Amino acid sequence: MSLWEYANPVKFLNLSGRVLPWVALLSAICLVVGLIWGFFFTPDDYRMGSTVKIIYIHVPAALMAINAWFMMLVASLIWLIRRHHVSALAAKAAAPVGLVMTLIALITGAIWGQPMWGTWWAWDPRLTSFLILFQFYIGYLALWKAIENPDSAADLTSILCIVGSVFAVLSRYAVNFWNQGLHQGASLSLDKEKNVANEFYHPLLFSIAGFVFLFLVLVLIGTRSEIRIRRASVIVARKIR
């Protein structure tokens, strides 16, 4: 009973139905714990004062924005190679979540940077690369909406996602080169490695876990609705012939 067996949409519906409530519960717990702990029970940073509390939403959102696109890339590859509908629809369901995560990362990043940089938008390379990632998400979703035939839509968006990933990485370095970072990042670097004093670190882990589970829940629900819509259209199409 290989993993691919769950690529069958109907089986996937049953499995995801059982798993969904638990993941939702887990995500809720982690989010609440992470945010409450981070918001109320951590001291202010000696230099940045209370704005450090923003890391509990900015870092997880930024992480999810990047990993959402990576997940869509993997799902697109699976669709192109093994032609499993669930992975194509999962990629489609993940896109809006990734888009909102990027938006959150952008806004919280700008708010966080304001006191340090003195302006709302300071073309910091990291924030700019999220702005570009945001455009990639917009393009990806726009292509999904523009094509009627579901199968060729899945193929085309998968190819766009793969090509887009290459250019996203290129843009990431081009932006870094373009502006070596107006201001050095705060004591915390926005990328994955977190050099943070540990009393900030544990709540951060929780809120990251919370965001990851939230992402999973939303993608599972999204994929299920995509499958149902596809199933309905197939039934209708088959009936009226």
Partner 1 sequence: MFMVLSVQDLCIARSGQVLMTDVNFELAAGQALIFKGPNGLGKTTFLRVISGLQPALSGKIHAKEDSFAYTAHADGVKPSLTVAENLQFWADIFDNQNIDTALSAFGLNDLKSRFAGLLSAGQKRRLCLARMLISNRPVWVLDEPSVSLDTASVTQLEEVIKQHLQNGGAALIVTHGHLDLGPSCKTVNLGEYKSNRAVYGDGAEAFL
Partner 2 sequence: MRAVLLRDLRLAMRVGGGFGLAIMFFLIVAVLVALGVGPDVALLSDISSGILWVIALLACLLSLDRIFSLDYEDGTLDHLVIAPLPLESVVLAKATAHWLTTGLPLGLVSPLVGLMLGLPAEGYLWLVLSLALGTPALSVIGTFGAALTLGLKRGGLLLSVLILPLYVPTLIFGAEVARRGSIGIELQTPLWMLLGLSFGVVAILPFASAAVLRINLR
Partner 3 sequence: MTLELGKYTSFVLSAYVITIVLLALLIIYVLWRNAKSKALLQDAELHKDA
Binding site for partner 1 (CB under 8 A): 8-10, 85, 148-151, 227, 230-231, 234-235, 237-238, 241
- Can residue 229 be called a binding residue for partner 2 (CB under 8 A)? no
Return the SS3 of 75: helix
Residue 135 to residue 238: CA distance in whole angstroms: 37
Q: Which is nearer to partner 3, 61 or 172 (CB)?
A: 61
Cα–Cα–Cα angle for 235, 239, 241, nearest 5°? 125
Q: Which is nearer to partner 2, 19 or 163 (CB)?
A: 163
Residue 216 to residue 176: CA distance in whole angstroms: 30
114 touches, from partner 2, partner 1, partner 3, none (C-beta below 5 to 8 Å by class): partner 3
Q: Which two tokens stand for residue 113?
A: 């940077």
Helices (H), 41-84: 55-82
Instruction: Please identify which residue in 114, 165, 187, 189 interacts with partner 3, judged by CB under 8 A.
Output: 114
Instruction: Please identify which residue in 50, 119, 135, 152 interacts with partner 3, judged by CB under 8 A.
Output: 50
Smallest gap from residue 134 Cβ to partner 3 (A): 13
Residue 159 to residue 106: CA distance in whole angstroms: 26
Helix 55-82 to helix 85-117 angle (10° resolution) is 150
Which of the residues 121 through 140 are near partner 2 (CB under 8 A)?
132, 135-136, 138-139
8 touches, from partner 1, partner 3, partner 2, none (C-beta below 5 to 8 Å by class): partner 1
Instruction: Please identify which residue in 39, 117, 121, 123 interacts with partner 3, judged by CB under 8 A.
Output: 39
- Can residue 228 be called a binding residue for partner 3 (CB under 8 A)? yes
10 touches, from partner 1, partner 3, partner 2, none (C-beta below 5 to 8 Å by class): partner 1
Which of the residues 178 through 207 are near partner 2 (CB under 8 A)?
178
Backbone angles phi, psi at 18, to 5 degrees: -75, -40
83: left (phi over 0), alpha (psi -120 to 50) or beta: left
Q: Which two tokens stand for residue 238?
A: 């088959």
Whose tokens are 């309905």? That residue is 232
Query: On the CB side of 49, how many CA atoms lie within 13 Å of its CA?
Result: 5
Which of the residues 151 through 170 are near partner 2 (CB under 8 A)?
152, 155-156, 159-160, 162-164, 167-168, 170
Residue 19 to residue 38: CA distance in whole angstroms: 28
Q: Which is nearer to partner 2, 112 or 130 (CB)?
A: 130
Note whether 108 and 82 are within 8 A (CB). no
**Which residues contact partner 2 (rule: CB under 8 A)?**
132, 135-136, 138-139, 142-143, 146-147, 152, 155-156, 159-160, 162-164, 167-168, 170-171, 174-175, 177-178
